[in-house]
């Protein structure tokens, strides 16, 4: 089965988008349309707009209509749309193709309240036709979680972190060892990952668990010092304390990075500076580092693997 994903992102998010794609799909697209055989749910990436499950394809536009006819599709309340905002396909041709493909589908067409959406995409010299899933935006409800602090990460970034750490593999165990009010944990739970959180500050840990309970998720935040926790995850996502609501000098940050070495062999670090030296010092090899910028809010997202002890200087 082939899938075609249509993405949108701000130019300043390009590196983060490409990193997320490499983790989720094993490769990043050249543009904003991506055809692959990897099946990723339409709510996984904050950059994903539509996912098309490809039913047929053709080299020529008119041939696509014949291919669609061969599918003998039957559907009630369906609509056919042309996808890809920056497509170079002439608007008249887009409309004609939607109409002609629609005409060979049995059933009632619905312009305003379609129950089934079919889509046409033109990419890499090919015409694709398939069923469309619009991005599922239910996760945006996490914007209004009952307990939030000024240091809470943006929900979109939290969702990206889960994609980067989870790699679309629900068997992976994820851990946020400095969970705050659980912004990252909520995204992981919503996407069905096996995720836990640790938070040392009791009132904050309680608020994090209240946030989980508010959305009907299990209360997965343990109140303890993460440097005393035992190995339990495939990947940790550390939003490293940087001195808001707690003291966070370099010695503490080093201790936390060392603590992560005891928890997992993979680390996705969120930090306000690149921290390359500190990562090296604590035995983490940097695989990728990209910025995330939202007005005054600047963070680095760094994917690291634990160095083998003999290489660790």
Ligand X SMILES: C[S@@+](CC[C@H](N)C(=O)[O-])C[C@H]1O[C@@H](n2cnc3c(N)ncnc32)[C@H](O)[C@@H]1O
Question: Smallest gap, in angstroms, from Cβ of residue 307 to ligand X?
Answer: 22
Q: Is 274 exposed, middle or buried (0-12, 13-18, 19+ CB in 10 A)?
A: middle
How many residues sit close enough to ligand X to count as binding (CB under 6 A)?
Answer: 20
250 binds ligand X (CB under 6 A): no
Q: Which stretch binds ligand X (CB under 6 A): 124-132, 164-172, 195-203, 278-286?
A: 195-203
249 binds ligand X (CB under 6 A): no
302 binds ligand X (CB under 6 A): no
195 binds ligand X (CB under 6 A): no
180 binds ligand X (CB under 6 A): yes
**Contact positions with ligand X (CB under 6 A) in 26-85:** none
301 binds ligand X (CB under 6 A): no
- Which residues fall within 8 angstroms of residue 76, CB to CB, at 6 or more apart? 107, 108, 115, 116
Question: Smallest gap, in angstroms, from Cβ of residue 127 to ligand X?
Answer: 43
How many CB atoms are closer than 10 A to CB 115? 11
Q: Which stretch binds ligand X (CB under 6 A): 23-31, 96-104, 159-167, 173-181?
A: 173-181
Q: Which stretch binds ligand X (CB under 6 A): 82-90, 178-186, 187-195, 272-280?
A: 178-186
Backbone angles phi, psi at 262, to 5 degrees: -80, -10
Candidate residues 24, 181, 236, 304; the one interacting with ligand X per rule CB under 6 A: 181
Give Dmax (Cα) for the chain.
68
Question: Smallest gap, in angstroms, from Cβ of residue 231 to ligand X?
Answer: 15
Candidate residues 68, 73, 198, 269; the one interacting with ligand X per rule CB under 6 A: 198
Q: Which stretch binds ligand X (CB under 6 A): 9-17, 53-61, 121-129, 179-187?
A: 179-187
How many angstroms separate the CA atoms of 67 and 126, rounded?
13
The 130-159 contact track toward ligand X, x by CB under 6 A, reads: ---------------------xxx------
Shorter beta-carbon distance to ligand X: residue 73 or 204 = 204
Q: What 3-state class would DSSP assign to 63?
A: helix
CA-based nearest residue to 44, from 21, 13, 65: 21
List residues binding ligand X (CB under 6 A).
Answer: 151-153, 177-178, 180-181, 183-184, 198-201, 204, 225-227, 239, 241, 246
């Amino acid at each position: 089965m082939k899938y075609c994903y249509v993405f949108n992102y701000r130019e300043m998010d390009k590196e983060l988008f490409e990193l997320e794609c490499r983790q989720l799909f094993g490769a990043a697209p050249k543009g904003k349309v991506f055809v692959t055989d990897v099946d990723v749910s339409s709510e996984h990436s904050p950059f994903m707009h539509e996912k098309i499950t490809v039913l047929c394809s053709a080299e020529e536009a008119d041939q696509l209509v014949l291919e669609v006819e061969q599918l003998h599709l039957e559907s009630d309340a369906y609509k056919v749309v042309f996808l890809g905002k920056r497509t170079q396909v002439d608007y008249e041709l887009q409309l004609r193709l939607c109409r002609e493909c629609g005409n060979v589908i049995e059933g009632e067409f619905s312009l305003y309240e379609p129950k089934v959406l079919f889509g046409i995409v033109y990419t890499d010299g090919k015409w694709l036709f398939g069923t469309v899933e619009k991005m599922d935006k239910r996760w945006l409800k996490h914007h209004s979680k009952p307990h939030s602090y000024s240091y809470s990460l943006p929900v979109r970034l939290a969702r990206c972190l889960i994609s980067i750490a989870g790699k679309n593999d629900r068997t992976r165990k994820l851990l946020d060892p400095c969970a705050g009010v659980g912004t990252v944990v909520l995204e992981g739970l919503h996407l069905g990952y096996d995720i836990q959180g640790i938070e040392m500050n009791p009132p904050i840990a309680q608020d994090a668990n209240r946030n989980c309970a508010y959305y009907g998720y299990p209360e997965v935040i343990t109140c303890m010092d993460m440097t005393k926790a035992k190995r339990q995850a495939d990947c940790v996502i550390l939003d490293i304390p940087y001195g808001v609501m707690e003291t966070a000098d370099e010695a503490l940050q080093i201790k936390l990075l060392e603590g992560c070495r005891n928890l997992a062999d993979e680390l996705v670090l969120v930090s306000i500076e690149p921290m390359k030296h500190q990562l090296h010092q604590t035995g983490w090899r940097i695989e990728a580092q990209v910025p995330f910028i939202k007005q005054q809010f600047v963070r680095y997202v760094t994917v690291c693997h634990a160095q083998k002890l003999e290489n660790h200087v």
